[in-house]
Amino acid sequence: MRHAVVTRTAVAVLLGLAATAAEADVRFGALYPFSGQLALLGEESARGLEIAVDEINAAGGVQGEKVVLVRGDAVDNNQAIGEARRLISLERVAAIFGSYSSARSIAASQVAELSGVPYFELGAVADEVTGRGLKFLYRTNPTAEDMGKLAVEMIVGKVAAGLGKKPDELKIGIIYEDSSYGTSVAGHQKKFAAGAKLNVVTAQGYPAATLDMSSLVLDLKRRGVDVVLQTSYLNDSVLFLQQANEAGFKPGAIIGGGGGYSMQPTADAVGHGIIEGVLDTDFTQFLVNTRYTPGIEGFVDAYRKKYNGSPRSGHSLNNYVGAKIILQELNTVKGFTPDTITRAVKGIDVKPGVTAVGYGFKFGANNQNERAAMMGMQWQNGKLVTVYPDEAAVAPMQFRK
């Protein structure tokens, strides 16, 4: 009998200790592909989130509590689901941040939705992420639709004039890798091009794991295409640019849709001379007007200090700003229940030009950040410099004479 009382007291004390320990911290999930094929940019994305949390904690945490990140490895879609379950039921996170990959995000956010736990998507671009009417999913980053819109905007606003033609005189060729990424971006490009009355002469998909694009290059050349829009990964970006060059196909402009076009290895593989002048639409990158992206230098410094190297892509930056805006906003409410968190983020209202990514923040229909926007970059002298919009540009857009 006495024994039982002692045990009960001990359990109660331990529970009490556990409760106080838990009260000192607030836990959030960091769900990204940390291993497997998507590991490189998954890890890069998570680094942005980690830097945001470091800065928040250095400034006193959220509602006076220290933020603790619990990692979940979404190596494939099934594991994304399993890890989301673990984060929610075992780790008891207040919300989940993620996830770089659209497929992982779509799978894991279903779990969060069913459990009523907020899920903040900071980097996946597919339409379906916010297109499913989920109540607890919020997305801060720009999407495939923004990418298609920007490409057409650049053609109408800058490229046509640069090539000395009217927009509707240009022959546009759209090519894309035929998984959901390329198909959805190309779909938006077609839609916005039709809206702007551009002349799209061909739109062709191809498998990303292709070994030869010479037929496609010949086809574009035969049609006299002036502007090529390509949405692609690394391998097919390299292949297209090389084979176009080797076949003597020199369109007035090539506009890439993120992916391979934003990556230094592509430029190094293709050759800086060949990629010179190639345009790209993507998340905010680092060679950008810092007056439009205040705080970007501080981010790069923090990144270098923490990870001993420069950021490998703009993914970390976009995750960093998205996470920081959300975590800061949680100071405006009390407690971390799903309802208080969603109430807080609905109040976010950040104008463009005041954050390190440039774009603003305000959640609109489907909980998508309606102020998110992509930027236009151009490869100049082996570097990807921002050329569009004007307020973010560090160099004028250049055209082959």
Partner 1 sequence: MDILLQVLANGLMLGGLFAIVSVGLTLIFGIVKVVNFAHGEFLMLGMYGTYLVTTGLGLHPFVAVIAVVPALFVLGVLTQRLLIQPLMAAGDDHIQIFATVGLSTALINLALLAFGADIANTPPHGLRAPVVIGPVRVLAGQVVILAAAAVLVAGLQLFLSRTQTGRAIRAVAQNRAAAELMGIDVGRIYALTFGIGAACVGVAAVLVAPLYPTSPTSGTYFVLTAFVVVVLGGLGSIGGAFGGAILIGLIDSLAGFYVGSDLREVAVFGVFLLILILRPSGLFGARLTLAHVSP
Q: Which is nearer to partner 1, 36 or 131 (CB)?
A: 36
Under rule CB under 8 A, residue 219 binds partner 1? yes
The DSSP call for residue 350 is B
- At 232 the three-state DSSP class reads coil
Q: Which is nearer to partner 1, 207 or 382 (CB)?
A: 207
Q: Which is nearer to partner 1, 43 or 113 (CB)?
A: 43
Under rule CB under 8 A, residue 268 binds partner 1? yes
The DSSP call for residue 385 is E
Q: Which is nearer to partner 1, 115 or 235 (CB)?
A: 235
Under rule CB under 8 A, residue 301 binds partner 1? no
Instruction: Considering only residues 18 through 57, tell me which ones interact with partner 1, judged by CB under 8 A.
Output: 36-40
Under rule CB under 8 A, residue 175 binds partner 1? yes
Residue among 125, 238, 278, 341 that touches partner 1 (CB under 8 A): 238
Q: How far apart are the first and last CA of the chain?
A: 94
Among the listed residues 329, 367, 284, the one whose alpha carbon sits nearest the alpha carbon of residue 63: 329
Under rule CB under 8 A, residue 214 binds partner 1? yes
Under rule CB under 8 A, residue 205 binds partner 1? yes
From 59-67, 243-251, 316-324, 381-389, give the range in contact with partner 1 by CB under 8 A: 243-251
Under rule CB under 8 A, residue 396 binds partner 1? no
Largest pairwise CA distance in the chain = 94
Burial class (CB in 10 A: 0-12, 13-18, 19+), 244: buried
For the chain, what is the total number of helices (H) and then of strands (E)? Answer: 14, 12
Task: Record the tokens describing residue 9, joined without a space.
Answer: 């007291």
- Strands 199-206 and 171-177, by their bridges, are parallel
Residue among 63, 235, 366, 398 that touches partner 1 (CB under 8 A): 235
Find the shortest distance in angstroms from Cβ 265 to partner 1: 5
Under rule CB under 8 A, residue 209 binds partner 1? yes
Under rule CB under 8 A, residue 224 binds partner 1? no
Under rule CB under 8 A, residue 211 binds partner 1? yes
Burial 50-62 (b: 16+ CB within 10 A, else e): bbbbbbbeeeebb
Under rule CB under 8 A, residue 228 binds partner 1? no
Q: Which is nearer to partner 1, 38 or 387 (CB)?
A: 38
Can you give the length of the chain in residues?
A: 401
- DSSP lists the bridge partners of residue 138 as 120
Q: What are the respective helix, strand and coil percentages of the chain, to the nearest 5? A: 50, 20, 35
Under rule CB under 8 A, residue 247 binds partner 1? yes
Q: Which amino acid makes up residue 264?
A: Q
From 58-66, 110-118, 122-130, 245-253, give the range in contact with partner 1 by CB under 8 A: 245-253
Strand positions, DSSP E, 215-329: 227-231, 253-257, 279-282
# binding residues, partner 1 (CB under 8 A): 33
Residue among 94, 253, 269, 348 that touches partner 1 (CB under 8 A): 269
Under rule CB under 8 A, residue 218 binds partner 1? yes
The DSSP call for residue 164 is T
Strand positions, DSSP E, 178-295: 199-206, 227-231, 253-257, 279-282
The DSSP call for residue 307 is H
Instruction: Considering only residues 309 through 328, tell me which ones interact with partner 1, judged by CB under 8 A.
Output: none
Q: Which amino acid makes up residue 125?
A: V
Under rule CB under 8 A, residue 222 binds partner 1? yes
Which residues contribute to the site for partner 1 (CB under 8 A)? Answer: 36-40, 175, 178, 204-207, 209-216, 218-219, 222, 234-235, 238-239, 242, 246-248, 265, 268-269
